[in-house]
């Protein structure tokens, strides 16, 4: 049975502000992180690398550089919740004990016009973010 909990961006924000030990990891690419934007305070550890979208082989090691304890609450996010769930499963297999997948991601799902950001996501909920 999985320990990964799916949460909304608002719930993620509440966890981050209610627990100073909680960490938010953004698993998107560098281009997404920089140009689309990211939550303020997010740690960027990309899961996949273009153009073949294979997992970075050192993903776990990169996470471990930022998180010293496997009991630390870790919230994972991506564009819409799929990559971050893959990342959460890898961390669960590596022994992390408190994992959350932000299921709407930063941009949310596409609407009827194939636009993101109108149905959900961190930005949709007007949570703090920035571009680098």
Q: Inter-axis angle of helices 82-93 and 59-66, to 10 degrees?
A: 80
Which pLDDT band, with edges at 50, 70 and 90, does 132 fall under? confident
Query: Is the previous residue joined to 69 through a cis bond, with omega within 30 degrees of 0?
Result: no
The H-or-E segment that residue 62 falls in is: helix 59-66
**Cβ distance 100 to 15 under 8 Å?**
yes
Mind listing the domains of the chain with CATH numbers?
5-130 (3.40.250.10)
* pLDDT score of 110: 87
CB atoms closer than 10 angstroms to residue 57: 8
Enter the pTM of the model.
Answer: 0.94
Write out pLDDT tens, residues 97-127: 999 999 999 999 888 989 888 889 999 999 9
CB atoms closer than 10 angstroms to residue 115: 11
Check whether 18 has a pLDDT greater than 90: yes
**Cβ distance 22 to 114 under 8 Å?**
no
């Amino acid at each position: 049975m999985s320990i990964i909990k799916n949460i909304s961006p608002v719930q993620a924000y509440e966890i981050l502000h209610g627990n100073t030990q909680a960490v938010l990891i953004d698993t998107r690419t560098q281009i997404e992180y920089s140009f689309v934007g990211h939550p303020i305070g997010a740690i960027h550890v990309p899961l996949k690398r273009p153009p073949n979208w294979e997992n970075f082989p050192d993903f776990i090691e990169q996470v471990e550089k930022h998180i010293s304890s496997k009991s630390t609450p870790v919230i994972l996010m991506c564009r819409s919740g799929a990559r971050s769930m893959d990342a959460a499963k890898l961390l669960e297999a590596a022994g992390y004990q408190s994992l959350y997948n932000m299921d709407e991601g930063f941009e949310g799902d596409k609407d009827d016009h194939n636009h993101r950001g109108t149905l959900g996501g961190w930005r949709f909920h007007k949570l703090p973010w920035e571009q680098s």
